A = this chain, B = another copy of it.
Amino acid sequence: MIVVLKQNANEERTKQLITWLKGMGLDIHISKGQYQTVLGLVGDTAKVDMELVESLDIVDSVKRVTERFKCCNRKFHPDDTVVSVGDVKIGGGHFCMIAGPCSVESEEQIVAVARAVKASGANMLRGGAFKPRTSPYDFQGLKGEGIELLKIARQETGLPIVTEIMSVSDLPLFEDVDVLQVGARNMQNFDLLRELGQTGKPILLKRGLANTLKELLMSAEYIMASGNEQVILCERGIRTFDDYTRNTLDLSAVPMLHELSHLPVIVDPSHATGLARLVPPMALAATACGADGLIIEVHNDPIHALCDGAQSLTPEEYDRLAKKVNAVRGAVQ
> A239 to chain B: closest CB distance in Å?
5
Q: How many residues of A contact B (CB 8 A)?
A: 115
Chain A, 188-217, CB within 8 A of any chain B CB: 188-191, 194, 208-210, 212-215
Chain A, 12-44, CB within 8 A of any chain B CB: 13, 16-17, 20, 29, 31, 33-36, 38, 40, 42
- Copy count, this protein chain: 4
> A161 to chain B: closest CB distance in Å?
22
A46 interface residue (CB < 8 Å to B): yes
A7 interface residue (CB < 8 Å to B): yes
Chain A, 247-291, CB within 8 A of any chain B CB: 248-256, 259-260, 272-278, 281-282, 284-290
> In the bound complex, do residue B63 and residue A63 qualify as a contact, i.e. CB atoms below 8 Å apart?
yes
Report how far A292 CA is from B208 CA in the complex, Å.
30
Report B-chain residues with C-beta under 8 Å of the C-beta of A157.
none
A132 interface residue (CB < 8 Å to B): yes
A90-98, A120-128, A134-142 - interface stretch:
A134-142
Report how far A274 CA is from B138 CA in the complex, Å.
32
Report how far A222 CA is from B133 CA in the complex, Å.
10
A324 interface residue (CB < 8 Å to B): yes
A61 interface residue (CB < 8 Å to B): yes
Report how far A58 CA is from B307 CA in the complex, Å.
7
A238 interface residue (CB < 8 Å to B): yes
Report how far A46 CA is from B324 CA in the complex, Å.
39
